Amino acid sequence: MGKLIGKEVSVAAADAVGLVNVDVIAAYPITPQTHIVEHLSELVAAGELDAEYIPVESEHSAMSVCCGSSARGARTFTCTSSQGLALMNEVVFIASSLRLPIVMVVCNRHLSAPIGIANDHSDIMPVRDSGWIQVFAENGQEVFDHVIHAFRVAESEKVSLPVIVNMDGFVLSHMIEPIEYWEEEMVKQYLPEFKPLYRLDPDDPITIGALTMSEYLTEAKMAQNEALKNALPEIVTAWDEMAEITGRQYRPVEKLHEDSSETLFLTMGSISGIVSDAVDQLREQGESVNLLKLRLFRPFPFKALKEAVGNARRVIVIDRAVSFGGPPGPVASEIRSAFYSDTNRPMISGFICGLGGRDLIPDDYINIYRESLLQTEGGATETEDILYGVKA
Amino acid sequence: MTTPSEFTWRDLEPGVIISDAGNSREYKTGDWRSARPVVDKANCIKCGVCYLFCPDIAITQAADGTFEADLYYCKGCGICEQECYTGCITMVDEEE
């Protein structure tokens, strides 16, 4: 077992990156950054981490440097947030299309305008289709474990894809939590040396990022999509092997209680903790309700989701972002799509909550539960997602 | 629905990487040319300015020291005609 110590989650995330002994860290060092890169720069400056720390002039350059170093065969890390991720966007898509196993922590924060810095998922939803593996962490321990898991999965020769570890801004990034650190021996046992599928080498030249026109672009995108889908068993295997080392078992979709319930909440990220309090209060009142945590967002775990939902009548999806002019809840629309072809599908009830860091308490989720029940009693089978708590 | 093909999506290298060096030689860039350079060799002073300026490295020196374009690669941009000191290169429409 590792040591349990109190640490700010950002600092712990940086320590996890230090433990995997990265070769290159490229990051834009000021707003919207977190203590992750600050602590990494301290580790490098103090000589505790033997890595190249490259402070660049923008996030676009940060991801460009990451692509270059990863293509050369270096274990590569960066992290960002909100506007930074938006500025990086162009190169985020290139990293995955070139199958470069970069690891990035995104501290999820709201995207301007109006200007703001607090937590929601409006930064990550625009890169939903970027082709990166994406996981969501609920607490500091999950962040620490998933940084190590991310390198293991990304660099697996069966995967070779970049991974985003999502952690909620402020709620996690600036919170001090008890975290069990891995011992170096545990990391050595879990994470093999990085052996890239290809590497840029002047003595054995290859071309990365060449032109592809209509003649083969369909095939290139087919191959990319298959690669991402095929990463799923590797992601699960890496979780199972982590459980053998740490005793903590992660799954693509996790249930709070193992029984079946009529109604299920579905959440991603740190709000799962508050929602679980609401669920437990409702269960004490005799309500048939449970919580599903969607840990793996990409590749989307269709099979695990359906198994976890089982015969539930209703799924209440809590979204943290708005898809403007569309089905407003981006996660709710994916869940609806996953069940559309099923004859006995549950009603998907979507609520958009906690935008710009607005705090919700368990009573809010109890209200949401009651409102969802009213929707069904009114005979509705399809509902429009609701921006919860809007001042009207 | 799929289209039968000898080279399929499964045959692409991961990330569409090109793992053998120098294969741009096989890439025919001259198939959409609308005009080709014709050299009046009598007026060629063998200076090689056309060779230096050709953006596709399509111009090579012949055994007699004069220069000519390899039409497999020449896109017909006309830069060689523009740069030639003696005016010995003329772009001729491919239709003619």
Q: Does B15 touch chain A (CB under 8 A)?
A: yes
Predicted pLDDT of residue B2: 83
pLDDT of B80 over the 90 cut: yes
How do the domains of chain B map onto residue ranges? 40-96
CB contact under 8 A, B17 and A206: yes
Q: Give the largest Cα separation in chain A, rounded.
A: 70
CB contact under 8 A, B12 and A210: no
Query: Domains (ranges, CATH) in chain A?
Result: 3-246 (3.40.50.970), 253-387 (3.40.50.920)
Closest-CA residue of chain B to A219: B9
CB contact under 8 A, B21 and A97: no
CATH number 3.40.50.2300 is the correct assignment for the domain at B40-96: no
Predicted pLDDT of residue B96: 65
CB contact under 8 A, B14 and A223: yes
Predicted pLDDT of residue A344: 87
CB contact under 8 A, B12 and A197: no
Closest partner residue to B12 among A197, A198, A223, by Cβ? A223
| Chain A residues in contact with B8 (beta carbon < 8 A) | 219
| Chain B residues in contact with A220 (beta carbon < 8 A) | 9, 12, 16
Predicted pLDDT of residue A1: 62
CB contact under 8 A, A206 and B9: no
Predicted pLDDT of residue A376: 77
Predicted pLDDT of residue B95: 83
Q: Does B25 touch chain A (CB under 8 A)?
A: no
Predicted pLDDT of residue A2: 67
Q: What is the pLDDT along chain A (392 residues), one digit of tens a residue?
A: 667 899 999 999 999 999 999 999 999 988 888 999 999 999 999 999 999 999 999 999 999 999 999 999 999 999 999 999 999 999 999 999 999 999 999 999 999 999 999 999 999 999 999 999 999 999 999 999 999 999 999 999 999 999 999 999 999 999 999 999 999 999 999 999 999 999 999 999 999 998 898 999 999 999 999 999 999 999 999 999 999 999 999 999 999 999 999 999 999 999 999 999 999 999 999 999 999 999 999 999 999 999 999 999 999 999 999 999 988 899 999 999 999 999 989 999 999 999 999 999 999 999 999 999 998 777 776 778 899 999 99
| Chain A residues in contact with B12 (beta carbon < 8 A) | 216, 219-220, 223
Alpha-carbon radius of gyration of chain A:
21
CB contact under 8 A, A160 and B14: yes
Å from A277 to nearest chain B CA?
Answer: 44
Å from A160 to nearest chain B CA?
Answer: 9
Q: Does B13 touch chain A (CB under 8 A)?
A: yes
CB contact under 8 A, B15 and A98: yes
Taking one residue from A and the other from B, the number of pairs with CB-CB distance under 8 angstroms is 52
- Checking A221-227 for CB contacts under 8 A at 24+ apart, the result is A222/B9, A223/B9, A223/B10, A223/B12, A223/B14, A223/B16, A224/A96, A224/A97, A224/A99, A224/A131, A226/B9, A227/A99, A227/A159, A227/A160, A227/A161, A227/B14
Q: Does B57 touch chain A (CB under 8 A)?
A: no
